[in-house]
């Protein structure tokens, strides 16, 4: 008989989407979208005949959660019964005082892993889930470490469930919480490790490692289909994993070259065209996009990011747009600095100050100051970046 588990992680309920350019109603819709993603996961589990749903941490963001979060989770999990729900808290939803995990009256089908070392929960004859929960937001213990925290030579299928950072595939800017290596999974006697923390999906049956990724995009770099992973465990011990594409929101990053544009209208038209091309086939109202402007732009083309974002949203109908200006002024700064004019002197002062800038923030200010000054000298209105 096949035992089916639906695995998800990194839902990040109550997340802030301000960094993605979502504010007010849009941000609320995005958060509602996360709850809908969770309900859809339950539906998917029911349709697939799952007997358990595992959630490997970061189910919600503790600092923005409240009683209502706990109430939603209790009601949702209750509606999933008799499917069993196994919760392994992560670094964003650790088991700290005041956590909805500790304050909510969980229904009988929910099991919460409360210790920071793996402990077993038998699911079926010969199938055991070993889970742990983070007890603090910055836990750096080894989730697979310790003799008592592994099945060792016990018979049956043993699956680990935790929130941790697999060091071999860690994205560059991802924090390390619960570090481990993929090779430890099998050496510790586990057939599979159902993990959370990385927002990109990774199914590696050879190493026995599964990251479902966030079911809805939480950042501009989380593009493509997303959703939970269906895990099927045969009586023989054979395991199959299938990623389900259930996301309804989309995110992407578009790079737009502005070389050669001579005026504001042409520039915005070009950006809009690029955005429409990149979002073809996507539901625009549920798409959040980051546009990286690159290329050399004449100082006379003022880039006011706020105005541009509004203009592109209005033109394309995309839900949220966040523009990053990475353009350079279409000027030979070196030649400019060689001028005997005030503009040349300004260019010299600015470039030397930029070279001597002590930190990134100061250099950023100086870069913008240079752009503003050149725009002002060019005779156009200064575009606020």
Partner 1 sequence: MRLERLEVSGFGGLQRRRFDFAERVTVVLGPNESGKSTLHRAIRAALYGLEAGSPGHPRDRSEWARWSPWTGGRYGLALTYRLDSGRRFRVAQSFDRGKIEAQVHELGGADVTQSFRFGRLVSPGQVHLGVDEAVFCAAGWVGEESLRLSSPDGPSIQAGRLREALERLADSGPEGSTAAQALERLRDGLRRVGSERRGGTPLGVATAQARRLEAEIASARRRLEAFAADEERLRALETAATSAASAALEAQRLWLAGRIAQLDQQVREAAEAGEEIAALTAALDREAAHAGFPADEEAAVITLGGELHQAEGIAADAERRWADAQGMLAAVRRRRAEVAAGLRALPSGMPPEVDINARAEELRRRLAVAAAVSERTEELAAAATRDRALRREMAGTGLGAVPGSDLETVVPLIRTVRFGRIIRRALLGVAGVACLAGASGAAAAWAAGRAPLAAAVGIGLAAALTAIAVLGWFTSRAPIRARRALASLLPGADLEGDGLNRLVEALPAATRIHREREQRAGALDAGRAELDQARAELEVVVDGCCALAAECGARAAARPPRGSSVLALAAGATRALDGVDDLARQAARRGELEVEDSRLGAEEHQLADLGAEAGRRREVAASVEGRIRSITGAAGIDGSLPPLAAVAAFRDACERRREHDRLASRLAEVRRHHDPGSHPEAAAQRREDLISELRRRSGDPGLVTAGPPPDADQLAELERAAVSAQNRAGAALSASEVLRARLEGMTGGLPSLADLEDDRLAVAAARDRALHQQAALQRAIEMIEAASREVHGRLAPRLAESVSTRVSRLTSERYTQVNVDTEHFAVALAGPDRDQLVALELLSHGTRDQVALLLRLALCELLGGSGESLPLLLDEPLASSDPSRRLALSKFLSHLATTNQLVLTTSDPQLAAALSAEDGSGGAAVLDLESGVSMADASLAAPEP
* Chain residues in the site for partner 1 (CB under 8 A): 14-19, 22-24, 27-28, 31, 61, 63-68, 71, 98, 103, 105, 259-262, 305-306, 332, 335, 339-346, 348-350, 353, 364-366, 368-373, 375-382, 384-385
Give me the least distance between CB of 371 and partner 1, in Å please. 8
Nearest to partner 1 of 167, 345 (CB atom): 345
Q: Among candidates 52, 205, 18, which has minimal Cα distance to 127?
A: 52
Nearest to partner 1 of 154, 362 (CB atom): 362
Give me the least distance between CB of 346 and partner 1, in Å please. 4
Contacts of 346 (CB under 8 A, 6+ apart): 373, 377
Nearest to partner 1 of 21, 143 (CB atom): 21
Bridge partner list, 57: none
Nearest to partner 1 of 151, 373 (CB atom): 373
Q: Among candidates 38, 54, 101, 53, which has minimal Cα distance to 196?
A: 54
Give me the least distance between CB of 300 and partner 1, in Å please. 11
Between the alpha carbon of residue 89 and those of residues 99, 138, 313, the distances in Å are 10, 12, 37
Give me the least distance between CB of 4 and partner 1, in Å please. 33
Give me the least distance between CB of 186 and partner 1, in Å please. 40
Nearest to partner 1 of 47, 364 (CB atom): 364
Q: What does the block give as tokens for 8?
A: 């998800």
Nearest to partner 1 of 284, 354 (CB atom): 354
Give me the least distance between CB of 162 and partner 1, in Å please. 26
Nearest to partner 1 of 175, 345 (CB atom): 345
Give me the least distance between CB of 374 and partner 1, in Å please. 9
């Amino acid at each position: 008989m096949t035992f089916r588990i639906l695995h998800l992680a990194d839902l990040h309920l109550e997340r802030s989407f301000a960094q993605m350019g979502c504010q007010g109603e849009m941000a609320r819709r995005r958060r509602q979208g996360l709850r809908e993603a969770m309900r859809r996961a339950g539906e998917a589990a029911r349709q697939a005949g799952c007997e358990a749903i595992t959630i490997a941490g970061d189910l919600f963001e503790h600092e923005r959660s409240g009683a209502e979060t706990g109430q939603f989770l209790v009601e949702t999990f209750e509606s999933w019964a008799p499917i069993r729900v196994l919760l392994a808290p992560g670094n964003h939803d650790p088991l700290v005082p005041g956590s909805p995990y500790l304050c909510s009256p969980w229904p009988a089908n929910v099991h919460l892993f409360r210790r920071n070392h793996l402990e077993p929960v038998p699911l079926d004859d010969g199938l055991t889930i070993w889970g742990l929960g983070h007890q603090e937001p910055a836990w750096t213990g080894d989730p697979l470490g310790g003799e008592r925290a592994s099945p060792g030579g016990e018979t049956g299928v043993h699956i680990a469930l935790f929130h941790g950072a697999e060091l071999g595939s860690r994205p560059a800017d991802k924090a390390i919480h619960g570090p481990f290596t993929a090779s430890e999974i099998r050496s510790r006697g586990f057939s599979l490790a159902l993990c959370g923390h990385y927002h990109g999906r990774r199914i590696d049956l050879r190493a026995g490692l599964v990251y479902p990724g966030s079911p809805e995009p939480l950042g501009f770099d989380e593009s493509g289909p997303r959703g939970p992973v269906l895990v099927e465990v045969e009586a023989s011990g054979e395991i199959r994993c299938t990623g389900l594409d259930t996301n309804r929101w989309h995110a992407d990053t578009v790079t737009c070259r502005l070389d050669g544009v001579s005026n504001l209208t042409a520039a915005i038209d070009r950006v809009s065209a690029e955005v429409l091309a990149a979002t073809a086939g996507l539901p625009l109202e549920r798409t959040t996009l980051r546009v990286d402007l690159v290329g050399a732009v004449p100082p006379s083309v003022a880039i006011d990011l706020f105005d541009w974002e509004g203009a592109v949203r209005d033109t394309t109908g995309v839900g949220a747009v966040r523009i990053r200006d990475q353009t350079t002024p279409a000027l030979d700064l070196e030649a400019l600095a060689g001028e005997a004019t005030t503009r040349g002197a300004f260019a010299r002062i600015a470039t030397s100050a930029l070279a001597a800038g002590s930190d990134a923030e100061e250099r950023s200010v100086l870069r913008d100051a240079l752009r503003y000054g050149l725009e002002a000298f060019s005779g156009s209105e200064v575009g606020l970046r």
